[in-house]
Amino acid sequence: MRTPTTMAAALAAAALLAAGCGRGGDGDSEEPKAGAARTPAASAEFGDLKDVCGPGSPAKASAQGVTKDEIGVGVLSDVGFTKNPELADAAKVFTSWCNELGGVKGRKLVGHLRDTRMMEVRQRVLESCRQDFALVGGSAALDGMGTKDRLSCLLPDFPAQQSMPQNNGSDLQFGQTGGASYNRYHGYWSWLLKEAYPGSKGSLGIISGDSPVTKSLGGEAQESLKALGGSVVYNNLYPAQGVSDWTPYAQAIKSKGVKGLIFYGDFTSLAKLEQILTSIGYRLDWIDANNNAYLPQFIKLAGPSLKVQNNFADLSGVHPLESASDSPATRKVQELYKRYGSGAQVTMVGLRSFSAWLLFAKAAGTCGDDLTRRCVYDAARKESAWTAGGLQAPIDLSKKDVPLDCFNVEKATPEGWRPADFKPTSGPYRCGAPKYRYTGDYGRPLTLADVGKSLNDLK
C-alpha cells in the first residue's frame, strides 16, 4: 500500500483474511443521496476555478452512463466494512452542490456508491464497468483486486487515493499524490533527518502492521532513508488484528535507542504505543504518525503523551484544515459540508475526494454535448499544474509518473494539529523538494498493454 490514509482499512483486511472471511451482502449499489438545500447555491466559483458546474443544453446520450440529462459515475468505498462514510459524504456534498448549479453543462451527476465491503472490490468494479461512465472520488484498501477489470473495460479512474501497487499509477488513472515510482515523502524525511533532527539519522525505526498491503511501505522506507544517509536500527511488524499490550514494542524501541520512528498503521494503535513509551520514560526525537493520524480523534486518544512525543505528518501538499482561513477553496469545502453534509466531518481524504470530483467535472465540462471517455481523459491530462482551485499545491497531471514538488508538515499538539516549523517557501508549502526514485522492486502499476489494449481503444 502506498497511501497511509488507507492503512487502517488494509490492516483490517489482513485481520479478516487471517480469521476467514464471509460474503458481506448481495453487492447491490446505493446512490449517495442529494442534499436538501432550499435556496440557490451562493456561487459557482470554487477557489480560483470558475463555473466548474452550471447549466447547459445537452441533447444526446454520448457514452455508457451518459444521457442528455445525467452522468452516472461509480464511487468505490469500503464503508460496509470500515463504517467510515467519508467518501460517500464527499460524493453527496459535491454532487448536491454541482447539481444545484445545473450539473456539468446541464447534465446532473449521479454517484453510484460501490461498497466493496472490503473484500468485494472486483465485484464492484465489474458492476461499474457495466453501468458507469467513470470512477470518481473513491478508494478501496484492496483496490488492486479490480485494476485489471477496470482496464479491460476501459473505465477511467479519478480516485481520492490509491493503495496497492497494481493500482497506484495504473493506466487511465488520475492520482494526485505523486508518481508511483517516487518516494512522495522524500522532501519531508529530508527535512526531518537533515534539518529538524540531524542527530536522529543514525537511529531510525520502522514499525508496520503485518499485512502484504503494508509491508511494501517498509521496504520503500528503508531504501529512501538509506539514500538520505539514515540507518534503520529497528524494524518490526505488529499483528494486523491488534496488540493487547504494547509494552514489549516500547521496550524494544527504547533498548535499540530509536530516535526517529516511522509508524505504518492505524492511529489508535500508535496512540497506545506512545502512551507506553511515555510511561516508561522514553522520548523519541520524532515520530512520523503518517497522515492517517491527521484527525481530531488522534489528538484525543494520544492525550498527555503529545506533551512528550513529537508527532508529525506530511500532508503531501494538501492545504491544512486548521488554516482554512488562508485558503478560499478549503473554506468553500467547509461551507459546502455545512450546507449539504448533514453534520459530516471534513477530512483529508474528503479533500482528496473533492479534488478528484473537481478534476472530473472540469474535464467533462470541456466536452460539451460530445461527452466521451476519451474526451474526459484528454482534457484531464492537460492539467500540468492542478491545484483543485487551491485545495492543494500544484501537481503535474500531464505526465503519468512525476514526483511531488511540494510538501507540508503538521505537528500534533494537545490543542490539535498545527503547521510545523518546516520553513515553507510558497504559502503553506515547501516546494522544490528533493526527489528520490525507487530502485527496488515493490510491484508495478498495471497498464492497458497488460490486458491487451491501448489508449487507441478508449472512445
Q: What pLDDT does residue 181 have?
A: 94
Q: Which of 401, 421, 452 is the last residue of a domain?
A: 401
**Are 156 and 200 within one domain?**
no
**Are 110 and 170 within one domain?**
yes
**Are 173 and 34 within one domain?**
yes
Q: Establish if 451 belongs to a structural domain.
A: no
Residue 70 sits at φ, ψ, to 5 deg, of -140, 160
**Are 231 and 151 within one domain?**
no
Q: What pLDDT does residue 213 have?
A: 67
**Are 147 and 238 within one domain?**
no
Render 205-249 in DSSP notation, one character per residue: EEEEES-HHHHHHHHHHHHHHHHTT--EEEEEEE-TT--S--HHH
**Are 394 and 275 within one domain?**
no
**Are 37 and 141 within one domain?**
yes
**Are 355 and 376 within one domain?**
yes
Amino acid at 171: D
Residue 215 sits at φ, ψ, to 5 deg, of -60, -35
**Are 50 and 143 within one domain?**
yes
Q: What pLDDT does residue 240 have?
A: 80
Mean pLDDT by 10 residues, the chain (459 residues): 50 46 36 44 84 95 97 98 96 97 97 97 98 98 96 98 94 92 96 98 94 78 96 94 93 98 94 97 97 94 97 97 96 97 95 98 97 98 97 95 96 97 97 96 95 98
Q: Establish if 452 belongs to a structural domain.
A: no
What is the spatial distance between Cα 228 and Cα 66, in angstroms, rounded to a whole number? Answer: 49
**Are 373 and 251 within one domain?**
no
Pairing state between β 260-264 and 430-431: unpaired
Q: Establish if 6 belongs to a structural domain.
A: no
Render 94-152 in DSSP notation, one character per residue: HHHHHHHTTSBTTBEEEEEEEE-TTT-HHHHHHHHHHH-SEEES---TTGGGGHHHHHH
Q: Establish if 232 belongs to a structural domain.
A: yes
Q: Establish if 453 belongs to a structural domain.
A: no
Query: What's the pTM?
Result: 0.92
- DSSP class of residue 426? B
**Are 311 and 354 within one domain?**
no
What is the spatial distance between Cα 111 and Cα 33, in angstroms, rounded to a whole number? Answer: 9
Q: Establish if 353 belongs to a structural domain.
A: yes
CATH number for the domain spanning 237: value is 3.40.50.2300
- CA 171 from chain centre, in angstroms, equals 18
**Are 307 and 239 within one domain?**
yes
What is the spatial distance between Cα 298 and Cα 372, in angstroms, rounded to a whole number? Answer: 43
Q: What pLDDT does residue 250 have?
A: 98
What is the spatial distance between Cα 121 and Cα 143, in angstroms, rounded to a whole number? Answer: 6
Neighbours of 61 (CB within 10 A): 13
Q: Establish if 162 belongs to a structural domain.
A: yes
Domain count, the chain: 2
- Domain of residue 355: give its range: 28-179+325-401
